[in-house]
Amino acid sequence: MALSTEMIADFLQSVHPYDSLERAERHALAARITPQTYAPGDDIYELGQGLEALFIIYRGEVAIRDETSAPLSQLSKRNSFGERALMRGGVAATSARALGDTVLLALPTADFMALQKSSAAARRFFDRTPAPQPAKPSLATQRVDSLMSTPALCCTPEDSAQQAARIMRDARVSALCVTEGETLQGIVTNRDLSGKILAEARDFATPVSQIMTPAPVTLPPSAIGSDVLHLMMERRIGHVPIVAAGKLVGIVTQTDLTRVQAVNSGEIVAEIARANSAEQMALVTARIPQLLMQLTASGLSHNVVTRLITDIADAATRCLLALGEAKLGPPPVPYLWLACGSQGRQEQTGVSDQDNCLILHDDMRPEDDVYFEALANFVCDGLNTCGYVYCPGDMMAREARWRQPLQVWRSYFETWIATPDKEAQMLASVMFDLRAIGGDASLFADLQSSTLENASKNSIFVSHMIANSLTHTPPLGLFRGFATLRDREHKNRIDMKHNGVVPVLDLGRVYALQGGLAQVNTRARLEAAAAAGVLSRSGGADLLAAYDFIAQTRLEHQAKQIKAGQAPDNFLAPSSLPDFERSHLRDAFVVVKTMQSALGHGRGMLG
């Protein structure tokens, strides 16, 4: 079939981004295109072959495969391919084969590059990096190191209360960090001076060590402003020291926060911290869907929105722990409440159940479990009341198996690593996402580091974890590159959780395991893996961009449902997306599948 320039130009008018071109520009571009015909089974190009053109499917279907010939994507009319190779020097990292009688339109590399320079629509379409976020200052996006006062004003534990007061008066500050060398020992505030010295008529020579708050809560420089806000609201404090590698590097005060606008999540955290029952908290957490919609609509990235949403769950959990202790009395031995799943990774969206466990001090006696069972039931029931429904798999502290002394937890991890059967792989996957929420954090610190070290050194366990991570695959198939669900309830939709973000979560967990990396958040794991050389920088950049697009699309889908008065879910109809977003989503899934294939064949360093 001979194609004239006019026919090609008419066809391009129905394909984005060429439909954005002026008629004369589109006609000139069509004149540079060469039609190519392929029979069923013909190779269009092979792995490692140099490409000299971008391909647009005019008719037929094309299978894209990785270097092991595993299918990555099946493309049809109006889809394009080859652009990634052209942007990376022209060498194909995949192969392409015609599945039927196929006609392709080949746009030479020089014209493809010129098109991107001349057309903003083309640049946006072929650019695989995330869209830049608004530059407007916001607590939700500003790192603490850009907010904190540095250097922090300090005194020593031996300094007198009067000396501390004079330092604060002269510097016009309301608090001092109490240090020995560079190590933070405590914090002393104006409130301490008035409430413990003046109000009690104590000697002005009283050492600061006797009136300070010892071992105050701190944050790292990598925290964001909303972390400070939520901490202040929940703990009712006005000063948060910033500590890196055990050394004091600055302090953030309420005054510092007035320079940027607080997000609504801070109000929700504050209301939860003041609640006296789960029922009161439930009235507050009912506003989470509206908050998610507002945060997403404001242009915040998925990782910031989910961080803010997770902060609310953390605050609710700690408040319930405090209410539980008030009801049951002090715990018989120290304990630590931990979250796993999306809360553990700080990735909660509008659809979240609860996943949690308890680590108890080894001094506990069997009869002490009566207390901790009651506490666990109180907190889990309260979370369920607040909308964090019970885990379908019973991965909760109210189950005796997940409420054990530290030595039992050590034996759990040792057994899972030594005998990585299917259940062990599943449990290890969940438990590698643990994050301390409330209680004695020292119960987890050594367990986390030693488990990670032992697991990363066990090649058999790592191999099993890799195999387990490949069980969730991106939804690539026949329908414009997507494999949609067939069940009646979700027909022609894709599961943006299990086939969207979960494959990337699994990859991030394995990369962290391979590199012995302590990060739990998926994005942080991918960044750390690239920095540590577990992933190549280009491979890491591709996977980060793909993850961002998939996760952002999922979040925006939920925000649209909430806006329409619907309950948010994870089931997205590809047909509901514009061509631009649908094409980019497909390309993001192709990247994920390529990285899965590389990991499965021992090539985690895919460039």
User: Rounded to a whole number, what is the distance in angstroms from the first to the last CA of the chain?
Assistant: 39
pLDDT band at 358 (very low <50, low <70, confident <90, very high): very high
pTM here is: 0.70
What is the reported pLDDT for 128? 57
- 144-257 folds as CBS-domain (3.10.580)
The token pair that represents 98 in the structure block: 């015609």
Q: Using an 8 Å Cβ cutoff, are 187 and 241 in contact?
A: yes
The token pair that represents 294 in the structure block: 């507002």
In the Cβ-directed half-sphere of 155, how many Cα atoms lie within 13 Å? 24
For 165, the 3-state DSSP assignment is helix
DSSP annotation of 605 reads: T
- At 539-582, the pLDDT tens digits run 899 999 999 999 999 999 999 998 888 899 999 999 899 888 88
CATH number for the domain whose boundaries are 264-466: 3.30.460.10
What is the reported pLDDT for 132? 46
Residues of the chain with CATH 1.20.120: 470-600
Residues of the chain with CATH 3.30.460.10: 264-466
User: Which alpha helices (DSSP H) does 345-486 contain, by range?
Assistant: 369-385, 406-418, 422-431, 442-457, 459-469
In the chain, what percentage of residues exceed pLDDT 90?
Answer: 56
Residue 92 pLDDT exceeds 70: yes
What is the reported pLDDT for 510? 93
Residues of the chain with CATH 3.10.580.10: 144-257
**Rounded to an integer, what distance in angstroms lies between the CA atom of residue 57 and that of residue 36?**
10
**Rounded to an integer, what distance in angstroms lies between the CA atom of residue 490 and that of residue 502?**
18
Q: How far is CA 367 from CA 44, 332, 333, 364, 375, in A?
A: 71, 10, 12, 8, 14
The 3-state DSSP composition of the chain as helix, strand, coil percent (nearest 5) reads 50, 15, 35
Buried/exposed code over 272-289 (b: 16+ C-beta within 10 A; e: otherwise): bbebeebeebbebbebbb
Question: Residues with Cβ < 8 Å from 129, sequence gap 6 or more?
Answer: 545
**Rounded to an integer, what distance in angstroms lies between the CA atom of residue 502 and that of residue 307?**
17
- At 388-438, the pLDDT tens digits run 999 998 999 999 999 999 999 999 999 999 998 888 888 888 888 999 999
The token pair that represents 577 in the structure block: 């997306």
Provide mean pLDDT across the span 240-244: 92
Residue 607 pLDDT exceeds 50: no
Provide mean pLDDT across the span 302-312: 92
Provide mean pLDDT across the span 353-359: 95
Provide mean pLDDT across the span 164-179: 93
CATH of 470-600, one of 1.10.3470, 2.60.120, 1.20.120, 3.30.160: 1.20.120
Question: Residues with Cβ < 8 Å from 208, sequence gap 6 or more?
Answer: 155, 156, 157, 158, 159, 160, 161, 163, 164, 176, 178, 186, 188
**Rounded to an integer, what distance in angstroms lies between the CA atom of residue 257 and that of residue 487?**
50
User: Which alpha helices (DSSP H) does 105-262 contain, by range?
Assistant: 109-118, 120-126, 161-171, 190-192, 225-235, 254-257
Residue 494 pLDDT exceeds 80: yes
CATH number for the domain whose boundaries are 5-126: 2.60.120.10
397: burial class by Cβ within 10 Å (0-12, 13-18, 19+)? buried
